[in-house]
Amino acid sequence: MSSSEDEYDPAGALDDIESTLDTLETILEPLLSGKMTWEEMLEKESGDHMGRAKLNMMMAFGVCDLLFVYLQMKGHDTTDHPVMIELKRVMEYNAKIKEAETAPKPRMKLDTAAAGRFIQAAIPRSQRIAPGTASSTPTPEPSKSNSKNKLTYEEVGMSSRFKHIGEGEVLDLS
């Protein structure tokens, strides 16, 4: 016998398999006992679509892998067996899930035309600058002259409309 055969401990391997199966039974106990359906388990474990996809993929892989191990233990040749096709398919889906997790998130794009319309709608018509006439100089402050045809800035500004509030004036609304 070679040294690798001497080191193999079948009792240890059996203990490892038993502990793994015990863990699997503990995890799947709600499903096996009928206390919970697969859909309820999916909702309990994860609310997002990625988590559901992972759980479904793990379940499919587990079933296919257990069938593969069973067939090998029975001495069947699994190289051309349909379970191999299913295992490859499940592994491809696993790769797709990993790719979806690591893919960069799409960035938001700014619709500049819509932003321009919003800005134009927010600016009063009297303060709009005609396209092409914009300059790099700052816009002058509104005129504060006392012309008869023009209202002064103080008369129409925010401070004049609510000046009675700041002066302590009491309005009788009855």
Average pLDDT of 73-97? 92
Residue 165 lies in a domain: no
Cα–Cα distance for residue pair 148/126, rounded to 1 Å: 18
Residue 15 lies in a domain: yes
Range of the domain at 89: 46-104
Q: Is the per-residue pLDDT at 84 higher than 70?
A: yes
| Total domains present in the chain | 2
pLDDT tens per residue, range 159-174: 555 665 655 555 556 5
Residue 55 lies in a domain: yes
Residue 147 lies in a domain: no
**Cβ count within 10 A of residue 83:** 19
Structure confidence at residue 164 (pLDDT): 58
Residue 174 lies in a domain: no
Q: Decide if 144 contacts 152 (C-beta within 8 A).
A: yes
Of 44, 17, 19, 47, residue with least CA distance to 30: 44
Q: How confident is the model at residue 108 (pLDDT cuts 50, 70, 90)?
A: confident
Structure confidence at residue 98 (pLDDT): 92
Cα–Cα distance for residue pair 59/125, rounded to 1 Å: 64
List the Cα angle 27/31/35 in 5-degree steps.
115
**Cβ count within 10 A of residue 21:** 10
User: pTM for this structure?
Assistant: 0.47
Average pLDDT of 55-78? 89
Between 163 and 16, the more confident residue is 16
Q: Is the per-residue pLDDT at 142 higher than 80?
A: no
Structure confidence at residue 148 (pLDDT): 53
Residue 132 lies in a domain: no
Q: Is the per-residue pLDDT at 36 higher than 90?
A: no
Structure confidence at residue 86 (pLDDT): 93
**70 and 100 assigned to the same domain:** yes
Cα–Cα distance for residue pair 36/122, rounded to 1 Å: 56
Cα–Cα distance for residue pair 74/71, rounded to 1 Å: 5
The whole-chain average pLDDT of the chain stands at 77
Cα–Cα distance for residue pair 147/143, rounded to 1 Å: 10
